[in-house]
Amino acid sequence: MKSMNRREWLKSTGKIAATVAVAPLVFSSMAHAGTADSLQSKSSVSYQDHPSGKDMCSNCMHFVPGASPKVDGTCKVVAGKISPHGYCFAYTPISG
């Protein structure tokens, strides 16, 4: 294994520290109801308009239903119209 000098070590640990510092901000914005400009883009959470097994927006705690169960609604953390049958990485099942 190649040995690291102090400068290389600081560079590598700095990248890790920056990642650790930013991660809570990303997950914090996902955990709370967002304002229009703080919502995640669909691509950033890999939104898809079909379920992942039984996991889908209509049984996610972040989903805000539309006028009827079959029409698109919105999401507290993801921007745009959201299908009740959609799914993304921020999926959080309704407990109970």
By beta-carbon proximity to ligand SF4, the closer residue of 12 and 63 is 63
Site for ligand SF4 contains 79 (CB under 6 A): no
Give φ, ψ of 78 to 5 degrees. -120, 135
CA distance 62 to 93: 9
Give φ, ψ of 74 to 5 degrees. -130, 180
By beta-carbon proximity to ligand SF4, the closer residue of 12 and 46 is 46
Which residue in 71, 69, 61 sits closest to 91, CA to CA?
A: 61
**Residue 50 in tokens:** 């079909």
Least distance between ligand SF4 and beta carbon 47 (Å) = 5
Residues 12-71 that bind ligand SF4 (CB under 6 A): 47, 57, 60, 62-63
CA distance 3 to 90: 40
**How many chain residues are in contact with ligand SF4, going by CB under 6 A?**
14
The residue ranges that bind ligand SF4 (CB under 6 A) are: 47, 57, 60, 62-63, 75, 77-78, 82, 86-88, 90-91
